[in-house]
Chains A and B, each alone.
Chain A
């Protein structure tokens, strides 16, 4: 499987993602430049964390007009896998590839800490190898991570099982105290209706090596690898001519 990681001016987790995929997980991971339209044949595009275009106007508002984003949009529309982490999640919302928006944290402060997250959905290619309801530990680091959407959209997200991750306490309860930024319904990550575009505020790429605090983030990458590999073998099998 081939992964691509986009670098916008101001991205700062792009090399963390490339490191984890290439050096820790032994995957093929290629950098993608914001001015390039060529996605280099990747199976999954990662929009990394950072402060693309200085967070000017609104977080993610300007990155969405990068040449690479035209290709990412076409790629996603055709069913390609896209993961937006932190600033990448903000870019996906601004681009309309995911519903809702991310606004200033309830407490007005930049939050940098490890959080507990309940995995709500395993019927997605990004979480198929994880266990539903399990409590994961991953770091967050953001000033604008408060997820909001209008009541109808929120209701639709819940009914369609599009909420993938929720901020919870260590025992898995989605309490106000466990919510680090005021996100509605404690939402930390969502998936689009077609289930090929994932956006999340926590950083799975920062939770892949034990000595850096934890390995729960690896589940997202392993799940998608499994989904892509199985999909490819199914497609190959369907191409085998019958007797």
Chain B
């Protein structure tokens, strides 16, 4: 199984990187790009556990290490 985790800045938390990238996109002629946010992408193989366990344990990984709940949101996909 393969897990793909997406970590993004929480709504309302200052995201100066997103702002800077958005401005650069506008400068390059992409004014349609709005509300740009930069996050992190984590992928990993999950070995020796069931799909249910995979979801539960990936969620736990996110809560305990991969994302900081004070400033970040996360979501993930599990692929068989």
- A interface list, Cβ under 8 A from B: 57-58, 61, 65, 93-94, 99-101, 103-108, 146, 148-150, 182
Contacts and interface: CB of A to CB of B under 8 A. Distances in A.
Q: Is the interface of B mostly helix, strand, loop or mixed?
A: mixed
Interface stretch (B29-37, B44-52, B65-73): B65-73
A101 B13 CA distance: 11
Interface of B: 13-14, 16-17, 20, 40, 65-66, 68, 70-71
A58 B68 contact: yes
Contacts of B71: 101, 103, 148
Given A103-B14, A106-B14, A146-B14, A61 B68 contact: yes
A150 B65 CA distance: 20
Nearest to A149: B70
Nearest to B69: A101
A149 B13 CA distance: 9
Contact of B16 (A65, A101, A107, A149): A107
Contacts of A65: 65
B66 A101 contact: no
B68 A148 contact: no
Contacts of B20: 108
B14 A57 contact: no
Given A107-B16, A182-B14, 17 more contacts: A57-B65, A61-B68, A93-B70, A94-B68, A99-B70, A100-B70, A101-B71, A103-B13, A103-B71, A105-B16, A106-B14, A106-B16, A108-B20, A148-B70, A148-B71, A149-B70, A150-B70
Contacts of A94: 68
Contacts of A182: 14, 16
A44 B31 CA distance: 54
A101 B70 contact: yes
B15 to A, nearest CB: 8
Contacts of B16: 104-108, 182
A148 B14 CA distance: 8
24 contacts: A57-B40, A57-B65, A58-B68, A61-B65, A61-B68, A65-B65, A93-B70, A94-B68, A100-B70, A101-B68, A101-B70, A103-B13, A103-B71, A105-B16, A106-B14, A106-B16, A107-B16, A108-B16, A108-B17, A108-B20, A148-B71, A150-B70, A182-B14, A182-B16
Nearest to A103: B71
Contacts of A99: 70
The CB with the most chain A CB atoms within 10 A, among B65, B70, B71, is that of B70
A173 B17 CA distance: 28
Contacts of B14: 103, 106, 146, 148, 182
A101 B68 CA distance: 8
A150 to B, nearest CB: 7
Contacts of B40: 57
Nearest to B9: A103
